[in-house]
Structure 1
Amino acid sequence: MPLVFAEPPISLSTAHSLAVFFAGTYVGSLYFSKNARLSFKQGGIKLKQGQQRTKEQDERWRDDPDVIRARLTAASLSTLSSCTAVVLLVWKLLRWAPKSVTDNVDQEFPIALETTLARLGFDLPSSWLELVLPCLVTPVLFLGPLYASWLSSSLPFQRHWSLKCSVLPLFTTWQGVRNYVVGPITEEIVFRSCSLATYHLAGASRAKMIFLSPWLFGLAHVHHAWDIYNRYGRTGSAARRAVIATLFQTSYTSLFGFHTAFLFMRTGSLIPPVIAHIFCNIMGLPQYSAQVAMFPHRRKVIRMAYLLGIAGYIVTMNRWTSSPRSLYWRSAHDVAMF
């Protein structure tokens, strides 16, 4: 059980500043080194509607292997620095706490480290049910898309699925490592673990932590607009496309942030949010219209699967995520601790 405080030891404005710092250093690290920065040819290029231009030889695009490698290194170091900042914060708060908390000065930092790891969700659940059930909530929500995947025989061990083509590219290419390994892990640590840990220390309400903190996660994707604008020709049309795409991405990443913030707070563990992040990156956004067009004779069943997924999510999001170990979701009968 992590060391707790009887009253919020930091102010809400301090928590806001730290959350902005975590998000800013994470995004900023992607542009800190020359190897991580993108470069594009200057000047506008007229293209057909929706057409992406061809990459020039001397350009550096987001999916270039050397750019991905540099950015993965930068993001990992930024994540480590954010975790270190939380450890130092808790250590400082511990040193300011009454001496009855710990009488041994030599034990202050080990206690701060241990309690910070617990606050960041690095503790393992006490049972396999506490580990597995929260990880199944997101697949329940995706019942409709999963059913459509089953119709197309692309689920694991179906006809159009194979270990070589369906799994290995996720973990043996630089894009796969970014999208399905390092990206989800580092983003959940920074935007969920570190941010929510500081907001909890500030005594923020559950509603604020779930519905306000994820907006930083959404806004952290705004920088992709520059990439879209350049890839689609640096014209007025490309600018409009970049704005629309960025607004859409900011919206759905914020919605996703609400979901993973809830999972993290309910379970007190980082594992369910990371698994949900990886799963959603693999599945992509639901394509209801395209799936109905592909299987028109199953239109009603697909619609029913989508509705059942939403209903199942509403039911399971509370029942499958409860954990008595979570510091972030105390019952009304418990004394508030921070």
Structure 2
Amino acid sequence: MSMMADHGGGGGPVLCSISVVSCLLLACGYVGSLYVWRSQLPRDHPTVIKRRFTSVLIVSMLSPLWLWTWRQYTGFKTGPSLLVLMGVHLEGIFAAACLPLLLTMVLFFGPLIQLVMDYPWDFLEGMKMFLDPQFWAQCLADMRWMRNQVVAPLTEELVFRACMLPMLVPCTGLSRAIITCPLFFGVVFQFSYTAVFGAYTAFIFIRTGHLIGPVLCHSFCNYMGFPAIGAALEHPHKVTIFFFYLLGVILFFLLLFPMTDPTFYGSLAICHLTKPDTSTSVCT
């Protein structure tokens, strides 16, 4: 018999308790896997990175099984398949890969302009390097690059978005799940701007129904890092740079809902886990 008495923010205390404990255990498992290896070596040492790759990939591969177990126990056995619920499907995937990434680049308009000013590149030379297989071979051989651009974005979004959000939504509803989901990372690790970013990628996941968008946005933000406000204040063209900072933020908020319009991405599986009247503002 299903343990769910009510969908969308009204799942009852039993369902909510199961969902919250499941998410907390999954978060502890992910973050704990990073520290099971005792070593005096710095965190950027290739040996440390490889060991963490091993443990975090194991937890990430087990996380869909954790979601499946939750689904079986709470009664969500019908509806979209597990992979579709986790945002792994082909419908609307091109838009899901491009539009959220472009939106994130708009937010970083100022830092991107600052980067171009400080490191002027020839466009053709840049494209030639981008298309050079040797360039990508060097990236793939760099453990820090692999961690920051591939493994961390993929595993964090898989665990904290694709697997946790479906467990939270029936209890909290869609909007509150966006805010609640990043807190599990903060509880076991640290509260910082990463919680704000986690809410953003949770929003992208729910609005698009795809995992690829949050992963690519995460990878891009890891590459850009936190905006160098101090360097911008001392920049000889600081007025121009801050104009683009401001323009980027304004355009981001103007484009946030239009560029994540669910009609671009097909049906949203996660919306099946909540009441229609509680999901209208996010799912449509």
Q: What is the distance in 1 between the residues matched to 2:233 and 2:278?
A: 49
- Equivalent of 1:69 in 32, 35, 50: 50
Q: Deviations over 1:106-126 (max 9, x none)?
A: xxxxx8xx6111111112342
Q: Deviations over 1:249-302 (max 9, x none)?
A: x311111111111111111111111011000000001012303423x1x22211
Residues 110 and 241, structure 2, Cα contact 8 Å, conserved in 1: yes
- Alpha carbons of structure 1 residues 169 and 287: separation in structure 2 relative to 1, 3 Å: farther
Residue type at the aligned position of 1:21: L
Report the equivalent of 2:100. Answer: 134
1:141-160 maps to which residues of 2 (within 5 A)?
A: 141-153=107-119, 157=123
Q: Does 1:302 align with 2:241?
A: yes
- Alpha carbons of structure 1 residues 200 and 178: separation in structure 2 relative to 1, 3 Å: same
- Alpha carbons of structure 1 residues 156 and 131: separation in structure 2 relative to 1, 3 Å: farther
Q: What is the distance in 2 between the residues matched to 1:166 and 1:300?
A: 35
More helix by share: 2
- Equivalent of 1:209 in 177, 197, 200: 177
- Alpha carbons of structure 1 residues 155 and 122: separation in structure 2 relative to 1, 3 Å: farther
Residues 153 and 160, structure 1, Cα contact 8 Å, conserved in 2: no
- Alpha carbons of structure 1 residues 271 and 334: separation in structure 2 relative to 1, 3 Å: same
Residues 30 and 71, structure 1, Cα contact 8 Å, conserved in 2: yes
Q: What is the distance in 1 between the residues matched to 2:31 and 2:201?
A: 20
Q: What is the distance in 1 between the residues matched to 2:154 and 2:122?
A: 23
Report the equivalent of 1:260. Answer: 201
Residues 27 and 188, structure 2, Cα contact 8 Å, conserved in 1: yes
Q: What is the distance in 2 between the residues matched to 1:12 and 1:197?
A: 12
Q: Does 1:15 align with 2:19?
A: yes
Q: What is the distance in 2 between the residues matched to 1:15 and 1:184?
A: 23
CA RMSD of aligned residues (A): 3.0
Q: Does 1:197 align with 2:149?
A: no
Report the equivalent of 1:27. Answer: 31
Q: Does 1:288 align with 2:229?
A: yes
1:1-338 maps to which residues of 2 (within 5 A)?
A: 7-8=6-7, 11-32=15-36, 36-38=37-39, 59-94=40-75, 115-126=81-92, 128-153=94-119, 157=123, 162=129, 170-202=139-171, 204-222=172-190, 250-294=191-235, 296=236, 298-324=237-263, 325-328=267-270, 334=276
Number of aligned residue pairs: give it: 264
Q: What is the distance in 1 between the residues matched to 2:16 and 2:136?
A: 43
Identity of aligned residues (%): 30
Gaps of 5+ in 2: 280-284
Q: TM-score, normalised by structure 1?
A: 0.69
- Alpha carbons of structure 1 residues 125 and 289: separation in structure 2 relative to 1, 3 Å: farther
Q: CA deviation at 1:181?
A: 0.6
Residues 121 and 270, structure 1, Cα contact 8 Å, conserved in 2: yes
Q: What is the distance in 2 between the residues matched to 1:288 and 1:258?
A: 22
Q: What is the distance in 2 between the residues matched to 1:253 and 1:333?
A: 29
Q: What is the distance in 1 between the residues matched to 2:52 and 2:225?
A: 22
Q: CA deviation at 1:167?
A: 6.1
Q: What is the distance in 1 between the residues matched to 2:140 and 2:232?
A: 27
Specify the SS of the correspondent of 1:212: helix
- Alpha carbons of structure 1 residues 172 and 156: separation in structure 2 relative to 1, 3 Å: farther
Residues 130 and 323, structure 1, Cα contact 8 Å, conserved in 2: no
Q: Deviations over 1:3-42 (max 9, x none)?
A: xx8943761121110110110011112233xxx223xxxx
Residue type at the aligned position of 2:150: V
Q: CA deviation at 1:158?
A: 7.2
